[in-house]
Amino acid sequence: MALSGVEIFKHLPKTNCKKCGHPTCLAFAMKLAAKQASLDACPDASDDAKKILGESAAPPIRDITLGTGDKAVKVGGEICMFRHEKKFFNPNVFAVAIKASEAGDVAAKKIEAVKTSEIDRVGQKLRVDAIAVTDEGGDAAKFAAVVKQVVDGVPGVPLILVSKNPATIEAGIALCADKKPLIYAATAENAEAMANIAKENKASLAVFADGLDALTALSEKVKALGVEDLVLDSGARKAKDMIEHFTIMRRAAIKKNFKPLGYPIITFATRDNSVSEAVTAAIGTMKYASIIVLSSVEKWKMLALLSLRQNIYTDPQVPMQVAQNVYKVGDAKENSPLLITTNFSLSYFIVRGEVENSKVPSWLAVMDNEGLSVLTAWAAGKFTASKIAQFITESGAEKNVSHKELIIPGYVAVLSGALEEKLPGWKITVGPREANQLPTFLKARA
């Protein structure tokens, strides 16, 4: 039974501390009742409250953690259909499939690719999140051999064990039982056996059925067998089926509180052509898939997919920002150049990256413009000559350098005259427009 907002409120700390992002505990309780928030957001909720609120506090889509330790990933827990309504919380997992028949060299190559997949984008570390070992073209022994290769090669990377044969899963899970892998999949034929393996190993369990009706029935059945942490696969593989099925599942869970479909979604976006695979996986990222299994993870492909995921999962209300500060890039000294940009994470990281590329140690003054890009901030009147002048004076930028020269972004060249007026004694130099011209620009001056 769902509790009302007032009933939920009784169990909250009632301190109105706002840490949950809501003005009062009551406001937060109302959001919980409307399934637009998760109790996790209140750091002070007591364990008793968590127990009592149980179902009411649970997000409409259960959240599930794959793996353990610092590479563990949480999926599900979403509360809205469109990112502008609130935000998407738990980024989907990208997993690469390694077939049992690939045991040995091919598997080693893919493991290496996962190991070296981490990229830094706008201050976030992104990587291939998981590995799916599939029994395709192999027997239980080969399957286990690949699992072993993975566990030894990239310890800590969450595993998905893919086989419809319980004996094969058992052979694999014996090697990673303490790592909270995901078992894929319980089907109408093997549900009891798979449920038992999942329970014994405290693993989460994917449920596969062809079509949403069959999936609903099977999901209920597996839950009745005592497995809580489920992940769902309706068999949707074509882009059209993906969008349709996943939308229905998300809507049923969020709008109708339909429990049998209130779990994270897994899909296999594999295609022969790798770019085709990327565009299909992209649809999964946008339209509600929580785990997307790929057949290969070339660096260029992951760069595109991880960037898309980052875009879709950013908070639409608050652009990613960095703190206002005068940052030291490299071994900057008092005669090093001083540049200015805004505190929009993207602007800052792009500019910083290019300054680093230039190998010319520099000072980068980052001004708080509420996370707007240079041109947007300028157009919004937040990156004006007087505001920049005030920032430069108050930030102490002057103390870092012995000179009085400020390099401004090329796109706001129009500001240079006014800035020289507002900052008496300063020389304003107009930098290039695009940050990628900064290395040439800085080197030429050095």
Q: Closer to another protein at the Cβ: 149 or 373?
A: 373
Q: Walk across the sheet containing 182-186 and list its strands.
A: 230-233, 204-208, 182-186, 159-162, 130-134, 93-99, 291-294, 266-268
Show the binding pattern over residues 279-318: x = contacts ligand SF4 (CB under 6 A), - = does not.
----------------------------------------
Q: Closer to another protein at the Cβ: 183 or 322?
A: 322
| Site for another protein contains 429 (CB under 8 A) | no
Nearest of 91, 61, 65, 88 to residue 77 by alpha carbon: 61
Query: Alpha helices of 5-46 — where are they, by DSSP H?
Result: 5-9, 25-33
Which positions from 420 through 439 interact with ligand SF4, judged by CB under 6 A? none
By DSSP bridging, strand 266-268 and strand 291-294 are parallel
| Site for another protein contains 201 (CB under 8 A) | no
Residue 430, number of CB atoms within 10 A of its CB:
15
- What residues contact 32, with CB distance under 8 A and at least 6 apart? 5, 8, 38, 39, 53, 56, 57
392 contact choice in ligand SF4, another protein, ligand B12, none (CB below 5 to 8 Å, kind-dependent): none
Cβ(161)–Cβ(181) below 8 Å: yes
Q: Closer to ligand SF4 at the Cβ: 41 or 108?
A: 41
- Chain-centroid distance of CA 179 in Å reads 21
Which positions from 345 through 374 interact with ligand B12, judged by CB under 6 A? 346-347, 350-351, 371-374
The residue number with the shortest CB distance to ligand B12 is 431
| Site for ligand SF4 contains 10 (CB under 6 A) | no
E strand or H helix at 141: helix 140-153
Positive or negative, the Cα torsion across 437, 438, 443, 445?
Answer: positive
Q: Tokens 């350098």: give the residue.
A: 401
**Segment contacting another protein (CB under 8 A): 1-9, 91-99, 234-242, 363-371?**
234-242
> How many residues in the shown chain lie near another protein by CB under 8 A?
55
CA dist., res. 264 & res. 291, Å (int): 8
Q: Closer to another protein at the Cβ: 40 or 220?
A: 220
For the chain, the straight-line distance linking the first and the last C-alpha, in angstroms and rounded, comes to 70
In the complex, least distance from residue 317 CB atom to ligand SF4, rounded to whole angstroms: 17
In the complex, least distance from residue 414 CB atom to ligand B12, rounded to whole angstroms: 9
Q: Closer to ligand SF4 at the Cβ: 18 or 333?
A: 18
**Segment contacting another protein (CB under 8 A): 35-43, 101-109, 301-309, 382-390?**
301-309
Label residue 226 left, alpha or beta by phi (over 0 means left) and psi (-120 to 50 means alpha): left
**Segment contacting ligand SF4 (CB under 6 A): 8-16, 99-107, 395-403, 407-415?**
8-16
3-state secondary structure of 408: strand
Q: Walk across the sheet containing 325-329 and list its strands.
A: 325-329, 362-367, 338-342, 405-408, 427-430
Which positions from 80 through 109 interact with another protein, judged by CB under 8 A? 82-84
Task: At 217, list the tokens.
Answer: 């029935």
Which positions from 13 through 72 interact with ligand SF4, judged by CB under 6 A? 13, 15-20, 22, 25, 28, 42, 44
CA dist., res. 145 & res. 107, Å (int): 10
Q: Closer to another protein at the Cβ: 202 or 256?
A: 256
Q: Closer to another protein at the Cβ: 36 or 165?
A: 36
Query: Alpha helices of 154-238 — where are they, by DSSP H?
Result: 166-173, 191-201, 212-224
CA dist., res. 65 & res. 73, Å (int): 5
251 contact choice in another protein, ligand SF4, ligand B12, none (CB below 5 to 8 Å, kind-dependent): another protein
42 contact choice in another protein, ligand SF4, ligand B12, none (CB below 5 to 8 Å, kind-dependent): ligand SF4
3-state secondary structure of 407: strand
301 contact choice in ligand SF4, ligand B12, another protein, none (CB below 5 to 8 Å, kind-dependent): another protein
Task: At 104, list the tokens.
Answer: 């040995």
Among 106, 167, 380, 414, contact with ligand B12 (rule: CB under 6 A):
380
Q: Which stretches of the chain bind ligand B12, using CB under 6 A?
A: 319, 339-342, 344, 346-347, 350-351, 371-376, 378-380, 407-411, 431-432, 434-435, 438
Residues that bind another protein (CB under 8 A): 82-84, 119, 121, 212-213, 216, 220, 238-240, 243-244, 247-248, 251-252, 255-256, 258-261, 274-276, 278-280, 282-283, 286-287, 298-305, 307-308, 310-312, 314, 316, 346, 350, 357, 373, 434, 436
